[in-house]
Amino acid sequence: MRALDGIRILELVRVAPGEFCTMLLADMGADVVKIETPEPPVDDARRAAFAFVNRNKRSIALDLKTAEGRALLHRLAASADVVLEGFRPGVMTRLGGDWATLSAINPRLIYCSLSGFGQDGPYRDHPAHDMNYLSLAGVLGLIGEADRKPAIPLNIIADYAGASLHGALGIVLALFARERTGRGQQVDVSYLDTTLELLAATPNMRYFFSDGVAPRRGAGFLGGSYPYYAIYETRDGKLLTIGCTEPWLWENFCRAIGRPELGRFARQPDQFVRPANAEEEAARREIEAIVRTRDRDEWFDRLVRADVCVGKVYDVGEVVRDPQVTHRQMVVEVEHPKHGTIRQFGIGIKLSDTPGAVVRAAPHRGEHTDEVLATLGLGTEEIRALRDTHVIA
């Protein structure tokens, strides 16, 4: 048994954050049906099978620009628990699959919309991507070194930590509420809103509203300018992260490198937003020289034994070989009927009684069209007629 067994979700998205949102729920047992356009896929079928964000799902190819396609969407929504859509506001209205239309068909439906700026407001219709949300939320301006342009942190923050995770949480909260009220509801998730929420939780924002103190890039105790929270290069040209924000952990580090007197550079209360001063920067440069005297893995082993917060800066190939990653089953294998064994990253949420599982590789576009439509009572001839008129594929 998995936690979301029996929950059916219709996914209507074209970008990976929406797909990741429903994958999190599919891993926990939800029956996620991807509704895709009948257009030929960009990726070949073999690569599609490896798509991390589409595992544990079924796919149907359905043209919602046709009246017949919209009618089938309505029939699917009538028995669904959740619809997740990731288009700009107004698109689903044109396709006949908006909240007002589908909730009238199924009052118990949870309808989650992931959009850049939400369903209202002056930016409602603006196009944007992760970096744009980060810049508007004030996040991008805080990432990187003070004397350089901001560093772009992939698209992890707004897309995945923001929209994907908040969308999944919003859906689960709405399902929980439905158990009490018997009613569905709309879940409106904005990439910008959720990015702001993530920033607000960081320590360097602690005194912004209370004291009017705004953080700056490269400053603050998490900005990389202080010796106790920094990236150091080792003798073999690799990198090591030191994150000793607690004074006793910093003292452990200083003893381990043979410089206990540097313990006086432990984190201080006034360092939430200010940059390191000249003496603190000099201490960091001194430690840089010491760290360059040994190889990365040698330092790592030594510092772990000394009870220091330390990490190796891995490339991806090293990540999948790390003993902690493999022990926690964060690299898993799933069998594909055509392409054999497929390796993927595992499930981050471990439940003791109803754990998630990777049971199905990602589908190719339209792989389950006939199977899903058969659950609506459509016969072979009806399905063939829909395919002949290009309503489905």
The answer to whether residue 388 is catalytic is no
Extended strands (E) in the chain: 8-12, 31-36, 57-61, 82-85, 110-115, 186-190, 229-233, 239-243, 310-312, 331-336, 340-345
DSSP state of 164: I
Bridge partners (DSSP) of residue 348 are none
How many angstroms from the chain centroid is the CA of residue 131? 15
With vertex at residue 338, the alpha carbon angle to CA 336 and CA 343, rounded to the nearest 5 degrees, is: 35
Q: Are the beta carbons of 13 and 86 closer than 8 angstroms?
A: yes
Q: How far apart are CA 21 and CA 84, in angstroms?
A: 9
Catalytic option among 31, 81, 130, 159: 159
Q: How far apart are CA 194 and CA 257, in angstroms?
A: 41
Where b means 16+ CB within 10 Å and e means fewer, 158-184 reads: bbbebbbbbbbebbbebbeebeeeeeb
DSSP SS3 for 282: helix
The answer to whether residue 166 is catalytic is no
With vertex at residue 377, the alpha carbon angle to CA 371 and CA 381, rounded to the nearest 5 degrees, is: 75
The stretches of 182-273 forming alpha helices (DSSP H) are: 191-200, 208-211, 247-256
Catalytic option among 43, 120, 125, 129: 129
Residue with the two structure tokens 């003292």: 251
Question: What residues are labeled active site?
Answer: 129, 159
